[in-house]
């Protein structure tokens, strides 16, 4: 039982850090630009498929990973400059409809290019074997690498926002857009930078989770719902809130799916828990969001 709990804690940490990569860009885009981007999960899909493309070209997953991130950032920046910047300042309904259309366009485009089948990314050979952690507990080396990358991204993003001039521009735009413009900050360029940064984080998450969850058309739609839940819990525009909310959601979802079935079997031996327990775990995640909305509608933290 101890080994199961430890394994699920690490799995929850890994899921939470991946959700943070998605939610950090989403919360910055919404907090700074006041822009609702339903197509944010599509960039996660783009990252997964770019990893597949670059693995086939280079023959190395580790070489393909940074290339996929850069390619996804470029796609995000192009989307912002060519289309989405025209929607800044419009009502949220227009933004929702336009970005929903982007989801449909990208899904059909990628289905035309790659086909409807699920694609698999192979775990690098150097990370394929489990690592001995403690006693009889072994854990996937690849998942540990994913956790390490997630922690590094969280630290680097925090340093970027708090210790650099670019971070100062981003925080100024989030706090008071018009005042930042009056002080000489190029808001349009900052918006494009934030969008490209959010896309890069999505691409990184998609490329990292490809060997674990597979790559397929529409893969971003389900995970973007959890990313929005994280943004609501953490607070719009707050990267600290996104990190805390992502870890809470990741742990609650993972531990709920792993431990609820066993608890329910002990309490109700004759009850089938195969489908009921995962549904209850999902309900717990949304219940946390409802509780935060009830007690603290602005989220756990204000804008970073």
Contacting residues for 182 by C-beta, under 8 A, at least 6 apart: none
Give the residue with greater pLDDT, 178 vs 92.
92
The band of 268, judged by pLDDT with boundaries at 50, 70 and 90, is: low
Q: What is the pLDDT of residue 210?
A: 87
- What average pLDDT score do residues 155-173 get? 80
pLDDT over 70 at 277, yes or no: no
- What average pLDDT score do residues 23-32 get? 81
From CA 271, how far away is CA 14, in angstroms rounded?
31
If you average pLDDT over every residue of the chain, what do you get?
Answer: 84
Query: The domain 16-121+138-295 is classified under which CATH number: 1.20.1740, 1.10.287, 1.10.3470, 3.30.70?
Result: 1.10.3470
- Domain residue spans in the chain? 16-121+138-295
Tens-digit pLDDT profile for residues 193-212? 888 999 999 999 999 998 88
The band of 106, judged by pLDDT with boundaries at 50, 70 and 90, is: very high
Range of weakest confidence among 52-56, 92-96, 125-129, 143-147: 125-129
Give the residue with greater pLDDT, 47 vs 178.
47
pLDDT over 90 at 138, yes or no: no
């Amino acid at each position: 039982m101890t080994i199961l709990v430890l394994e699920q804690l690490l799995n929850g940490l890994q899921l939470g850090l991946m959700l943070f990569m998605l939610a950090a860009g989403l919360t910055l885009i919404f907090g700074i630009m006041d822009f609702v981007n339903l197509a944010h999960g599509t960039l996660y899909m783009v990252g997964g498929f770019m990893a597949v493309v670059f693995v086939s070209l280079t023959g190395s997953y580790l070489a393909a990973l940074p290339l996929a991130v850069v390619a996804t950032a470029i796609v995000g920046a192009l989307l912002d400059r060519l289309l989405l910047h025209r929607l800044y300042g419009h009502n949220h309904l227009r933004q929702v409809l336009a970005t929903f259309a982007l989801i449909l366009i990208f899904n059909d485009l990628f289905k035309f290019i790659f086909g409807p089948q699920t694609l698999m990314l192979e775990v690098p050979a150097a990370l394929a074997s489990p690592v001995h952690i403690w006693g009889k507990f072994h854990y996937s080396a690849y998942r540990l690498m994913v956790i390490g990358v997630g922690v590094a991204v969280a630290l680097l993003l925090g340093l970027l926002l708090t210790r650099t001039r670019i971070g100062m521009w981003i925080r100024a735009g989030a706090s008071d857009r018009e005042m930042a413009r009056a002080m000489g900050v190029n808001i349009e360029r900052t918006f494009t930078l934030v969008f490209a940064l959010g896309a890069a984080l999505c691409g990184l998450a998609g490329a990292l989770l490809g060997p674990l969850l597979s790559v397929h058309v529409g893969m971003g739609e389900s995970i973007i719902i959890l990313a929005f839940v994280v943004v609501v819990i953490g607070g719009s525009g707050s990267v600290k809130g996104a990190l805390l909310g992502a870890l809470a959601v990741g742990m609650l979802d993972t531990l709920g799916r792993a431990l609820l079935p066993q608890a329910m079997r002990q309490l109700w031996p004759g009850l089938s828990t195969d489908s009921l327990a995962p549904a209850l775990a999902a309900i717990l995640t949304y219940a946390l969001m409802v509780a935060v909305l009830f007690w603290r509608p602005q989220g756990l933290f204000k804008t970073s």
